[in-house]
Amino acid sequence: MQRSRKRLAVIHTGGTIASRPSPDGRGLTPQQAPSLTGLPDVEVHDVQPLNLPSPHITPAHMLELAGLITALAPDHDGVVVTHGTDTLEETAFALHLLLGTPTPVVLTGSMRHAAEVSWDGPANLLDAAGVALHPHSSGRGPLVVFGGDIFDARTVTKVHTTAVDAFGGYPGPIGRIDRTETAAHVRFFATPEQRQTYAPDSLKARVDILYAYAGWRGEGYAGARAEADGIVIAALGTGNLPAELLPLIAKTRQPVIIATRTHAGPVLPVYGYAGGGATLVQAGAIPASFLNAHKARILLLTLLGSGLGKEEIRRIFGEAGF
């Protein structure tokens, strides 16, 4: 049905875009959700399920958010989610795995808070709304809009701790929004791969991430193996580890996912020395392809929460175009 006014749901979850210096002088805290201004012809419905700094966001929150978006989407032409930038890419990727709605969903935030003269929140929010309501945004999965760039949820990552253009990732934006006095100009350069979605019962499994370094002899691995349902390792280069890790991984019954601590490129099992990627795969480890460690963890949580076993998990990491 064609509505006379477009309807936009704006879901606020906290983050710097909602933050100001706290009155007790302890530093910035989320306080007031930002208002969308500049779109007088759009009917905006603000919803605030959370008001958290994004380091406090958990996978359980992501699942709740997916449920809320699924409920709101049929009545709206677009959905915007405001979120702290620190874990924004994890929430975006969880939504990429969970949401089946054709209604565009766009995440944004800000790097500067509302009491700063250079607050980037209003422009990012306006841009996110412009993309969420654009007719070409549907069918691309959840998107992230920041500094005028449009990213897909699978590849976007936070690349700077303070810069206003804080998001990037390989291979980069899939589109751009720019404004003139009279209009917003949205251009897409790419359509993300078809994605598979999942309906996990929960995202409550325990998946630990371990970070590899020169001279790592497996410190921390035994604890993860004893307690966790799965392990992700941010490994070296194309997915290699020191030799000491090879026997530990060979003895692990839970899924062990090998991602890379390098910021771009795939995990490829090419090296045959002890701990080289080929030997890790022979020992049962699963390469994460292009997913960074924290997104590989979100995928593993989703697959474990969907009741899938190790071989199915291996197949999905290998074949699902990640």
Q: Which is nearer to ligand ASP, 109 or 147 (CB)?
A: 109
To ligand ASP, the closest distance from the beta carbon of 215 in angstroms equals 31
Which residue's CB is nearer to ligand ASP, number 77 or number 86? 86
Q: Is 16 a catalytic residue?
A: yes
Among 34, 84, 239, 305, binds ligand ASP (CB under 6 A): 84
* Residue (27 or 307) nearer to ligand ASP, CB: 27
Q: At 195, is the secondary structure helix, strand, or coil?
A: coil
Q: Which stretch binds ligand ASP (CB under 6 A): 78-86, 123-131, 181-189, 203-211?
A: 78-86
Q: With the C-alpha atoms ordered 207, 211, 212, 215, is the resulting torsion angle positive or negative?
A: negative
Asked if 127 interacts with ligand ASP (CB under 6 A), we say: no
What span, in angstroms and rounded, lies between the C-alpha atoms of 162 and 288?
28
Please tell me which residue in 16, 82, 87, 101 is annotated as part of the active site: 16
The DSSP string of 15-75 is SGGGEEE-TTSS-EEE-SPPPP-S-TTEEEEEE-S--B-GGG--HHHHHHHHHHHHHHGGG
Radius of gyration of the chain measured on its C-alpha atoms: 20
Which position among 34, 78, 109, 168 is part of the footprint of ligand ASP (CB under 6 A)?
Answer: 109
Nearer CB in complex with ligand ASP: 125/236: 125
How far is 166 from 131, CA to CA, in rounded Å?
18
- Yes or no: say if 272 and 170 are a contact pair by the CB < 8 Å rule: no
How many of the chain's residues bind ligand ASP (CB under 6 A)? 9
Q: State the catalytic residues.
A: 16
In the complex, the residues that contact ligand ASP under the rule CB under 6 A are 15-16, 53-54, 84-86, 109, 111
